[in-house]
Homo-oligomer: A and B are copies of this chain.
């Protein structure tokens, strides 16, 4: 079913409409008329009294007789919402916005009522936005099906454009929309999803992305369920930037109590959004800043936007831009200009400027349109330059036009994206913002913000969709009661490198087992519930056949079995693990062994992963440096570790929901010698097991 009526309905019914000035039940009627909505507006109220001079109906079914109604806003008390949804369904209305609050956000009773609304709607084939939401806006059609106080402001004008804006929060969302309009950032589709009982942000984003003319989507979310849908949107060519709140534990707790949604750990959210190619931002201002590049810079997808030339008339701005570019690595780096570029610039830039990047062309070049044009052209044509940041301060009225035409020209002819930084009060050049926007130049007040927006462009351009084979699901049959030996045997059966070893049955068998393990072995007590067995004296290193009987006795006395394993020499200690999350199964790789907690350095990915993912995970952590060989040590067998991680990923895909597998330490031996999983632990949720 299409969600288009949310922003482009043929007719809107307002259920619970009121004529009282200021009443929320009157506002959408008022707003739909004020902003020129051309479809039918149908106030619904029991007494049939007029609203804003429009006749009202006693029900949606009755209203439907006057014309097509494909969207209803339900604004009645919570306990009357189910009835209203039935009325809508009876009238054939496919999409209903439940604005009313008093549902899951108020506690258990409200949550039950919310479930009832959703069940009723599903039964009757109606899609529900909300409850507890402020509505939607289609700027193209003037459809303000919302009661946000933003539209009460007489001075508020809709600014149409190619971006969608989807927010779980109503107040913050419309606050952000007002700031977007203020800076001239046009939005075509605005949706507040509220409690997301039926329609979630991801589904709405996907629907907007299918609208003709949509060039990108900005979102604010407190919970995330369907990252896969976002990945498909991005893969279809529509970039998505998301402010996902709840980074901190306190924030996540507040978000959970606000929406009742299950929160995934923030690093998992990061991993999921990154996999999906979604640009994650941290602030409303950054979200809108990214919106500006999305709407103004033609899609740079697949094209590299990494090496940046800074052109400035202010040395200070240039330095700040260089600092900001450095802090945005690896997404951005300061371009190294070629010798011929530098030579050409020497001809143009006076001695008190600078031809090295950041290029300080000086005010004297900027005030000479021909020279400034040439300087820009030379830089844009450098093969080593992917993008230009142009920084100016205190630009006054007449300067703006010259600068803008030169920058627009170079962008036009070279195709190199240009971002402008103008650090100065609006009144010095009141039209500068609009002029730059009209010329397709996103403009920011400080070098840091301009560079941050450019970094988002780089991330969008680099988000190439890679087809990963779905995780091969192997049936690993692991059980909660498995001892270390059984667990390792299971891992070995799936091709994972565990030390040669087995349970020794008695003193004599211990001697044999040590001999089988190569003559020098490690003996371990396998005792259910004994976690840190080294600390408890349950691990004896370098046991010979001769010493085996005595050690066997000692370990057996600890109350379990005795495992004899080959003695593995020292190496780089890694950890490889997998846990479950609301967003999917997570693979973790990082520094292991005794340094695990101290160094605390791991990389996360959602399954499936391929070899490139695993290589990137190693590179993200200090493991890369450890594997390359710390002072005096040779390189470790990185390839074998990658193979092992990929094999663990296959095993992980076969684990039951909620299961956690931790392999730590995984010792990586010298190159060519492989990897050994020295310790393994499995935790299953209480209701799982086999």
Taking Cβ atoms with an 8 Å cutoff, the residues of A that contact B are 101-102, 105-107, 132, 148-150, 152-153, 155-156, 167-169, 171-176, 178-179, 181-182, 220, 222, 243, 245-251, 254-255, 257-258, 282-285, 313-320, 322-323, 325-327, 334, 351-352, 354, 356, 358, 360, 363, 393-394, 396, 423-428, 445-449, 532, 534-535, 594-599, 622, 625-626, 630-633
A171, A358, A597, A625: residue with the most chain B Cβ atoms closer than 10 Å: A171
Contact between A285 and B445 (Cβ–Cβ < 8 Å)? yes
A190 CB, nearest partner CB in chain B, Å: 13
CB contacts (< 8 Å) of A363 on chain B: these are 171
- Closest residue of B by beta carbon distance from A333: B250
- Bound complex: CA of A316 vs CA of B170, how far in Å? 8
A123 CB, nearest partner CB in chain B, Å: 27
A148, A176, A315, A447: residue with the most chain B Cβ atoms closer than 10 Å: A315
Contact between A394 and B171 (Cβ–Cβ < 8 Å)? yes
> How many copies of this chain?
2
Contact between A248 and B322 (Cβ–Cβ < 8 Å)? yes
- Bound complex: CA of A178 vs CA of B360, how far in Å? 22
20 new A-B contacts at CB < 8 Å, known A175-B393, A245-B323: A148-B394, A152-B396, A167-B316, A169-B315, A171-B313, A174-B393, A175-B394, A178-B425, A179-B423, A179-B424, A250-B322, A258-B360, A283-B320, A283-B446, A283-B448, A284-B446, A285-B448, A535-B632, A595-B595, A599-B599
Contact between B156 and A282 (Cβ–Cβ < 8 Å)? no
CB contacts (< 8 Å) of A155 on chain B: these are 427-428
Contact between B358 and A174 (Cβ–Cβ < 8 Å)? no
- Closest residue of B by beta carbon distance from A134: B394
Contact between B248 and A316 (Cβ–Cβ < 8 Å)? no
- Bound complex: CA of A356 vs CA of B532, how far in Å? 39
Set B153, B282, B394, B632: member contacting A427, Cβ < 8 A = B153
Contact between B396 and A149 (Cβ–Cβ < 8 Å)? yes
Given contacts A148-B394, A316-B245, contact A153 B428 (CB under 8 A): yes
A72 CB, nearest partner CB in chain B, Å: 23
A339 CB, nearest partner CB in chain B, Å: 18
CB contacts (< 8 Å) of A632 on chain B: these are 532, 534-535, 594
Given contacts A150-B394, A172-B316, A598-B622, contact A323 B105 (CB under 8 A): no
- The 9 nearest A-B residue pairs measured at CB: A169-B316, A248-B326, A175-B393, A172-B316, A175-B423, A178-B425, A171-B314, A535-B632, A251-B323
Set B101, B152, B320: member contacting A251, Cβ < 8 A = B320
CB contacts (< 8 Å) of A597 on chain B: these are 625, 630-631
Set B248, B318, B428: member contacting A178, Cβ < 8 A = B428
Contact between A425 and B181 (Cβ–Cβ < 8 Å)? yes
- Closest residue of B by beta carbon distance from A446: B284
- Could you give 25 example pairs across A and B, Cβ below 8 Å? A105-B352, A153-B428, A167-B316, A171-B393, A172-B393, A173-B316, A175-B393, A178-B424, A178-B425, A179-B423, A179-B425, A182-B426, A243-B320, A247-B323, A248-B325, A250-B323, A251-B323, A254-B315, A258-B316, A594-B630, A595-B595, A595-B630, A597-B625, A598-B626, A599-B599
CB contacts (< 8 Å) of A599 on chain B: these are 599, 622
- Closest residue of B by beta carbon distance from A624: B598
- Bound complex: CA of A172 vs CA of B173, how far in Å? 33
Set B172, B317, B625: member contacting A314, Cβ < 8 A = B172
- Closest residue of B by beta carbon distance from A256: B319
CB contacts (< 8 Å) of A178 on chain B: these are 394, 424-425, 428
Contact between B285 and A250 (Cβ–Cβ < 8 Å)? no
- Closest residue of B by beta carbon distance from A397: B153
- Closest residue of B by beta carbon distance from A285: B446
